[in-house]
């Protein structure tokens, strides 16, 4: 064998073929062992992230629906409470008018009863005063005339 001195960077000989075959085997093995599982994991991760994003969008939509339902229910409850408040106020004012009328009626009846009692007492007092004034007048006349008056 003869040694060829060559200054070229790449020399074509049997080692180049061996290196190319070794490199192809290496690519095949690394593709099987590393790149395919890595691509599968990456694809799974992408689908997982897409599913999570879809779930997030669905959850946001459900949240918005629930929030709008809650707002509608809140409005309905407020309206119902306002209506009940109004009905209670009208009922209360009606009852207050009825109580006031009943109280006025009772006061008038008590006033009439008291007036009748006062009139009866005044009448009795007048009779008593008239009798006393007659007796007093009789005593005064007797003292003025120095004699007794017989009735």
Per residue in 17-61, pLDDT (tens digit) is 888 899 999 999 998 998 899 999 999 999 999 999 999 999 999
What is the pLDDT at residue 8?
Answer: 60
Q: How far apart are CA 83 and CA 75, in angstroms?
A: 12
What is the pLDDT at residue 19?
Answer: 87
Burial 14-35 (b: 16+ CB within 10 A, else e): eeeeeeeeeeeeeeeeeeeeee
| pLDDT above 90 (res 134) | no
Q: What is the pTM of this model?
A: 0.45
- Positive/negative CA dihedral, 31, 33, 35, 37: positive
| pLDDT above 70 (res 80) | yes
Q: How far apart are CA 101 and CA 106, in angstroms?
A: 9
pLDDT classification of 143: cutoffs 50, 70, 90: confident
DSSP characters over 23-75? HHHHHHHHIIIIIHHHHHHHHHHHHHHHHHHHHHHHHHHHHHHHHHHHHHHHH
What is the pLDDT at residue 5?
Answer: 56
What is the pLDDT at residue 41?
Answer: 93
């Amino acid at each position: 064998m003869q040694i060829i001195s060559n200054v070229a960077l790449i020399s074509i000989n049997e080692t180049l073929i061996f290196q190319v075959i070794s490199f192809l085997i290496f690519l095949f093995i690394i593709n099987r062992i590393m790149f395919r599982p890595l691509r599968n994991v990456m694809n799974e991760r992408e689908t997982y992230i897409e599913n999570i994003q879809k779930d997030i969008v669905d959850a946001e939509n459900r949240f918005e629906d629930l929030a709008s339902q809650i707002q509608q229910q809140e409005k309905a409850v407020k309206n119902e409470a306002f209506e009940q408040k109004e009905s209670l106020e009208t009922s209360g004012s009606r009852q207050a008018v009825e109580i006031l009328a009943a109280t006025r009626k009772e006061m008038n009846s008590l006033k009439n009863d008291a007036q009748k009692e006062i009139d009866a007492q005044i009448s009795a007092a007048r009779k008593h005063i008239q009798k006393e004034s007659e007796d007093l007048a009789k005593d005064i006349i007797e003292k003025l005339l120095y004699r007794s008056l017989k009735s």
